[in-house]
Amino acid sequence: MTTAEKPAGRVEEMTVRIPDYGPGLRARPLKVTTVTVKTRCPICQGPRGIPAPELRGAYGRTHEIDVWTNPCGHVDLSADVLIEAGVHPPYKDRT
């Protein structure tokens, strides 16, 4: 399917693995959470970078996550991606 064949207004999505320490101020043991988010930067709506696997170490264990660099220069923090995906509540709604 080419770009011209895609339905108008369709939002493209990508599925990525994100490090998740929990929504609170106290870090919990790391787990990797798989989420689906838009392929557009939430700040400027430019394209997000292409995810690539990367190994990260934490607490003596190695985890495989996805990382990307947005061409627009905006940084996607793991916590913000988890909020965007609905895994964690927005900062203003936390108690």
| pLDDT tens string 55-65 | 988 778 899 99
pLDDT at 2 over 60: no
> What's this model's pTM, rounded to 2 decimal places?
0.81
Which residue, 16, 14, 48, 50, is CA-closest to 33? Answer: 16
Residue 52 tokens read as: 């690539």
Contact 46, 71 (CB under 8 A): yes
Spatial distance between the Cα atoms of 60 and 95, rounded to a whole number of angstroms: 31
**More confident of the two residues 53 and 8:** 53
Q: Across residues 42-65, what is the average pLDDT?
A: 92
